[in-house]
A and B are shown apart, each in its own frame.
Chain A
């Protein structure tokens, strides 16, 4: 590496060409490449991670500053500052426009800029997750231990990722060891008997690498107080849980052109809503991936992924563990990249997925379907200022023999070296899930939820524009988007069947068109005195859909808040060789929100009322002491200002006040 001094156009092109050649080594090159770049790059770029490599926007490695798709990068350093346990902890604190709320039974639901549930695609190292509850993945599976970085691409990305990527993609990328061996042990204690323990062990040889992670968390159930006469449903008992998350990844490198990665994982969660019948959630995952650098300009990736998510109830009295849900995904993938010397990249790929669903709510007990897709993307580096990326994709779903064609076009313009302007259009879609087609069950005696085999795919058209500018100690980002959503998949208006005015039914349906639009702005700064800061604001306008007859529907989830803001300020100082201190204060503010809800679910002729959900702000202070090379002591005050909601509505933070958290992390390998 002899670069990077981004002063002339020819030098810039040289950087890109070098970058692209490096990219042919794909994942292996990522760490080495970004590390080398960080060592050499200009201060501005390293300060704001602009020379870090991201892959999610184009499925090819790109420097963050050069990617034609606006990408929000959350690094392992950010995760450490927030002291996050899982994706929920991290995302709601790092990104405005992200909110985790609850549905019945305290099941979690995420809203990202007006999209939620199956409208946001979560990936771990590029792989989908099986299983859902109330449309969302199990967020507790997304443990933040051993995460290298998280890449968030907002807006429709179905042309590259297929169904469920209408609102964006969140790709969690795990660490790969670089030292000969590493061993980290860590733990954290907090109120409500909250415990978090983790261990990671890595070995890194010439031909073999292995990384083993074991993590355990637990927190007790606890009660929260609510004032009399809540306007709508509240939470009285916050359900804790107990999780185990074990992952192993083995990498075999027979030569410098071939790399084979095998992985296996086990996840377990237990939650007790009813004392005699704790609910259990298990996931078994495995995968095999081969990366072959055919030539210096061509690489091929083939992979197989298995993910099985089970739910069961453990009957303590009879000692029986009875499974009532299983989703199994078997996915085969192929991805080919060709790099031209000019910097242009052709990406073609195809996937096959077998999706299997077993649930007691399915009349026939099991359903399955095969999905096939093929896609192509051309990344055209027109000149040193302009770059254009176009992608098309075709998906076929064996159930009902449905298909979908999805295009995407993105443009990046760099008028000056530290300013990027990006524009894009993308189509998003979400194929009806098997549950939405075939479920038929009594929802707690309220109504019968019925699947609809005639559902069409939900479509969205996403238009976006963004700009980012870096100058000295400061970086500015601003973005705006507009989504036109058609045929949204959801439950419709509750109704009675002719001749039966006692039993309500709630059917899955395609809703009328609606729109989601908004924008965000971020300013971040890093000064030489050890201080750094970030302030982000997001505006979201989610116009709630109606059914195709113009009726207000029963919204399962509270809509996005119009205004949200996250803030963080850090101070970092190394006092001596063996002692350093970092203080972090981070918080979020969410504006109030109104939701139109039925006055009487059983008599919709009574109309609707507007429920007001209050604004709130929530802060956390943490102090991280680095002692010697190996030890790190973290002391945090979560909910710093002791915020206690008057009513714990389904979109309130479920807290009963300030929470002291104390953690210790030891890098055992650094003791030797």
Chain B
């Protein structure tokens, strides 16, 4: 009986494969889709571009975002770092195949125009980097916005971190990454909020790690927002397609 059953199963499998020129068991897989279905309190930004910032006005988040290109043109390339924190492109060599991003050396600087910004915005995203419009950020241990205390006053005594100058993380020019050379925009970003998506090198290609904690942002006008990165890939696996959970005002 057992042998007959095995015979039947084996030959059934064989017969099913005979007509399978293009393969079998498609139903094991999900179909990638360009459509993004958002829930209430979510926004979606395709921030995969290396050369753009996307500005979001949380008061009007459903309207979408404003894209602003990162200025890259500059006439005077210098092999020495500027004496002060000047806006422009900073090219660094990173030990991408050895000790990683923590080991780096300055290579050259090209001053550029100031980063353009829209009139009204709360946060801006560029791949895994986030800026705030004069805000400061605190990382909670919560992993759901729904679980937060009712009011942001619960975080009144927390230590918030303002945006800080950075010329190492806003990777803008990747053309020579295999040589360890990456061109970065010199600009203020928020290190705490940017930690919602960590990029590690090595290996090549880089590894992305999502931090699903909820972040509290305090803005200049003393309003608060709660933000959480829900996902950073689209269904085709392209990184930095961000789905952000938000609550504003909080």
Question: Does B233 lie at the interface of the complex (its beta carbon under 8 Å from any beta carbon of A)?
Answer: yes
Q: Which parts of A164-201 form the interface with B (CB within 8 Å)?
A: none
Bound CA–CA A274/B238 (angstroms):
13
Q: A322-B236, A356-B23 are in contact. Are A446 and B97 (CB under 8 A)?
A: no
Among B23, B103, B207, contact of A310 (Cβ-Cβ < 8 Å):
B23
Bound CA–CA A277/B6 (angstroms):
36
Tell me whether A248 and B17 are in contact (CB under 8 A): no
Which residues of A are found within 8 Å of B98, using beta-carbon distances?
Answer: 226, 228-230, 234, 236
Among B7, B21, B23, B177, contact of A445 (Cβ-Cβ < 8 Å):
B177
Tell me whether A601 and B99 are in contact (CB under 8 A): no
Contact count band on A: 35 or more
Tell me whether B3 and A322 are in contact (CB under 8 A): no
Which residues of A are found within 8 Å of B175, using beta-carbon distances?
Answer: 445, 502, 504, 602
Q: A210-B6, A273-B203, A276-B233 are in contact. Are A306 and B179 (CB under 8 A)?
A: no
Question: Does B75 lie at the interface of the complex (its beta carbon under 8 Å from any beta carbon of A)?
Answer: no
Question: Does A264 lie at the interface of the complex (its beta carbon under 8 Å from any beta carbon of B)?
Answer: yes
Question: Does A312 lie at the interface of the complex (its beta carbon under 8 Å from any beta carbon of B)?
Answer: yes
Question: Does A668 lie at the interface of the complex (its beta carbon under 8 Å from any beta carbon of B)?
Answer: no
Tell me whether B178 and A321 are in contact (CB under 8 A): no
Question: Does B10 lie at the interface of the complex (its beta carbon under 8 Å from any beta carbon of A)?
Answer: yes
Tell me whether B17 and A306 are in contact (CB under 8 A): yes
Question: Does A282 lie at the interface of the complex (its beta carbon under 8 Å from any beta carbon of B)?
Answer: yes
Question: Does A320 lie at the interface of the complex (its beta carbon under 8 Å from any beta carbon of B)?
Answer: yes
Among A106, A208, A323, contact of B3 (Cβ-Cβ < 8 Å):
A208
Tell me whether B17 and A286 are in contact (CB under 8 A): yes
Convert B170-191 into 0s and 1s, putting 1 for each residue whose CB lies closer than 8 angstroms to a CB of A: 0000111111000000000000
Among B7, B24, B210, contact of A276 (Cβ-Cβ < 8 Å):
B210
Which residues of A are found within 8 Å of B97, using beta-carbon distances?
Answer: 230, 232-234
**How far, in Å, is A307 (CB) from chain B's closest CB?**
9
Tell me whether B179 and A275 are in contact (CB under 8 A): no
- Listed stretches B26-34, B123-131, B213-221; interface member: B26-34
Bound CA–CA A366/B23 (angstroms):
12
Tell me whether A277 and B233 are in contact (CB under 8 A): yes
Tell me whether A445 and B174 are in contact (CB under 8 A): yes
Residue on A nearest B173 in the bound complex, by CB: A502
Question: Does B154 lie at the interface of the complex (its beta carbon under 8 Å from any beta carbon of A)?
Answer: no
Tell me whether A236 and B3 are in contact (CB under 8 A): no
Tell me whether B100 and A308 are in contact (CB under 8 A): no
Bound CA–CA A275/B209 (angstroms):
7
Interface centre among A235, A284, A354 (most CB of B within 10 A): A284
Question: Does B156 lie at the interface of the complex (its beta carbon under 8 Å from any beta carbon of A)?
Answer: no
Tell me whether B21 and A328 are in contact (CB under 8 A): yes
Among A228, A287, A306, A444, contact of B205 (Cβ-Cβ < 8 Å):
A444
Which residues of B are found within 8 Å of A275, using beta-carbon distances?
Answer: 207, 209-210
Interface of B is mostly: mixed
Question: Does A5 lie at the interface of the complex (its beta carbon under 8 Å from any beta carbon of B)?
Answer: no
Residue on A nearest B12 in the bound complex, by CB: A264
Interface of A is mostly: strand
Tell me whether B32 and A600 are in contact (CB under 8 A): no
**How far, in Å, is A567 (CB) from chain B's closest CB?**
33
Question: Does A349 lie at the interface of the complex (its beta carbon under 8 Å from any beta carbon of B)?
Answer: no
**How far, in Å, is A319 (CB) from chain B's closest CB?**
8
Tell me whether A287 and B14 are in contact (CB under 8 A): yes
Bound CA–CA A282/B28 (angstroms):
10
Question: Does B152 lie at the interface of the complex (its beta carbon under 8 Å from any beta carbon of A)?
Answer: no
Which residues of B are found within 8 Å of A315, using beta-carbon distances?
Answer: 231, 233, 235, 237
Q: Which parts of B1-44 form the interface with A (CB within 8 Å)?
A: 2-3, 6-7, 9-11, 13-14, 17-18, 20-25, 28-32
Tell me whether A288 and B23 are in contact (CB under 8 A): no
Which residues of A are found within 8 Å of B20, using beta-carbon distances?
Answer: 306, 308, 328, 330
Among A203, A287, A308, contact of B23 (Cβ-Cβ < 8 Å):
A308
Q: A286-B17, A502-B175 are in contact. Are A250 and B22 (CB under 8 A)?
A: no
Which residues of B are found within 8 Å of A326, using beta-carbon distances?
Answer: 22-23
Which residues of A are found within 8 Å of B103, using beta-carbon distances?
Answer: 228
Question: Does B71 lie at the interface of the complex (its beta carbon under 8 Å from any beta carbon of A)?
Answer: no
**How far, in Å, is A243 (CB) from chain B's closest CB?**
17
Bound CA–CA A288/B12 (angstroms):
11
Which residues of B are found within 8 Å of A277, using beta-carbon distances?
Answer: 233, 237
Among B22, B31, B202, contact of A328 (Cβ-Cβ < 8 Å):
B22
**How far, in Å, is B203 (CB) from chain A's closest CB?**
6
Q: Which parts of A204-246 form the interface with B (CB within 8 Å)?
A: 205, 208, 210, 226, 228-230, 232-237
Residue on A nearest B98 in the bound complex, by CB: A230
Among A106, A235, A354, A504, contact of B21 (Cβ-Cβ < 8 Å):
A354
Tell me whether A233 and B17 are in contact (CB under 8 A): no
Question: Does A78 lie at the interface of the complex (its beta carbon under 8 Å from any beta carbon of B)?
Answer: no
Bound CA–CA A502/B51 (angstroms):
14
Question: Does B208 lie at the interface of the complex (its beta carbon under 8 Å from any beta carbon of A)?
Answer: yes
Tell me whether A273 and B32 are in contact (CB under 8 A): no
Which residues of A are found within 8 Å of B11, using beta-carbon distances?
Answer: 262, 288
Residue on B nearest A210 in the bound complex, by CB: B6
Question: Does B52 lie at the interface of the complex (its beta carbon under 8 Å from any beta carbon of A)?
Answer: no
Tell me whether B237 and A264 are in contact (CB under 8 A): no
Convert A351-380 into 0s and 1s, putting 1 for each residue whose CB lies closer than 8 angstroms to a CB of B: 000101010100000101000000000000
B interface with A by C-beta (< 8 Å):
2-3, 6-7, 9-11, 13-14, 17-18, 20-25, 28-32, 97-100, 103, 174-179, 202-205, 207-210, 230-233, 235-237
Q: Which 9 A-B pairs have the closest CB atoms?
A: A306-B17, A320-B30, A323-B29, A233-B97, A262-B10, A444-B205, A264-B13, A445-B174, A328-B23
A interface with B by C-beta (< 8 Å):
104-106, 203, 205, 208, 210, 226, 228-230, 232-237, 248, 250, 252, 262-264, 273-277, 282, 284, 286-288, 304, 306, 308, 310, 312-313, 315, 317-318, 320-324, 326, 328, 330, 354, 356, 358, 360, 366, 368, 444-446, 502, 504, 600-602
Q: List 13 A-B contacts (CB under 8 A).
A: A228-B98, A228-B103, A232-B97, A236-B98, A262-B11, A273-B203, A275-B207, A321-B28, A322-B31, A322-B236, A328-B22, A368-B22, A445-B174
